[in-house]
Amino acid sequence: MKHKTIVLAIGAALAASAAHADVDLMAKEVQIYGKLHVSADYYDLGSATGATNNSTGGELTSNSSRIGFKGEKKFSDNLSGIWMFESTIDVSGESGTLSARNRYLGLTGPGGTLKAGIHDTPFKDMLGYTMFGDTVGDSRNILGQLSNGTNLFNVRAASMIRYELGLGGFNGSLEYSPDAKGTTTPDSAGNNYAVTSLSLGYKIGGLDIAGAYEKQDNISNVNNANANGYRIGVKYKIADLTVGGIYEGLTDDGYGARVERNAYGVNVAYKISGITLAGQYLKADTSGIGNDGASNYSVGAYYDLAKSAQIYGVYSSIKNDTAAAYVLGNDGHGTKYAPAATGETVKAISVGMAYSF
């Protein structure tokens, strides 16, 4: 009888998922959630690739689709245990791998929240001040990316410990990983890739502002291949209008001259008659190697079919300087559109749908 009751409870919870996100199976102790996101893209990799196969074409792609389980167990009035286990899934069927997203075990109470596992860094969390996440217009087209297409400063750190605290309108996070790549055996030379990242933010009314700093040591387990970065973000919402901006400064400390560069971006969104119109501009300045800056323009429209379902159309273009090869859709989006040569303009138009549960 007990087994039958559990089965019926699970079935009822899953049936309710059409109306509610975060499906509860055992109160808050076990919850199921997820997001399915697919798009049909048409891309152009630039004129220099005209003699190359697939320099233009179409692609159906799964964009950070995921399924997750999470829970909370109350131990006392002031202490609860929390956990999360989230994996990427490929709706397009091109990959059957369930790769790790945020996963952790932790404790939470009035004194803050402590997590241990794998998690996006506070520096990466600053992408929340941009728009077009997980589409061809994702801000990682510029932010955190180097001019050779290396996605360096958007880290999901393995083997991390993270502390979070909210107090009034303030919120802060501190995360440290001595082995961000999650190697099973420590580097015998002591060159494990270590990441230290922290952020501080403040929210009042429609205003949201924050800053973050990150230090990366022994990148890719290379001794003294170090780099630092900071981000400052602001977002303001009034009625149906949202405007935002972000600034990023990267500093080389042994990794290479390409890290030595700044970038910035502005964005705006306005909702009218159920349709959200959005635009974003991002600019990477020249780094230490010279003539390797880039500009990224994105425009799009979103329509909510329901609270949990959305369709959209997005156009995005990266114009690379003569020594730059910034990649469109470098992270978050399921397919990376890279120029075959430096100095090329890469662009794509994408029509997609996302469903959350």
pLDDT beyond 50 at 18? no
Instruction: Give pLDDT, residue 185.
Output: 73
Residue 187, pLDDT score: 67
Number of separate helices (H) and strands (E) present in the chain: 2, 18
Q: Is the per-residue pLDDT at 25 higher than 90? A: no
User: Phi and psi for 324 in degrees, rounded to 5?
Assistant: -110, 150
Average of per-residue pLDDT values in the chain: 91
CATH superfamily of 28-356: Porin (2.40.160.10)
Measured in residues, the chain has a length of 357
pLDDT at 52: 56
pTM above 0.85, yes or no: yes
Find the range with the poorest average confidence among 52-66, 264-278, 287-301: 52-66
Q: What is the dihedral of CA 98, 102, 103, 109, to 10 degrees?
A: -160
Q: Are 207 and 114 in contact (CB under 8 A)?
A: no
Residue 316: the pLDDT is: 98
Could you state, in order of their start, the residue ranges of all structural domains in the chain? 28-356
Residue 215 near residue 175, CB atoms below 8 Å: no
DSSP state of 18: G
Confidence check: pLDDT of 3 > 70: no
Average pLDDT over residues 119-136: 98
Task: Give the tokens for residue 77.
Answer: 């009035």
pLDDT at 44 over 60: yes
- Mean pLDDT in residue range 302-310: 96
Q: How high is the pLDDT of residue 14?
A: 43
Position 116 pLDDT exceeds 60: yes
Identify the pLDDT of residue 17.
Answer: 46
Q: What is the number of other CB atoms lying within 10 angstroms of the CB of residue 52?
A: 12
CA distance 201 to 319: 32
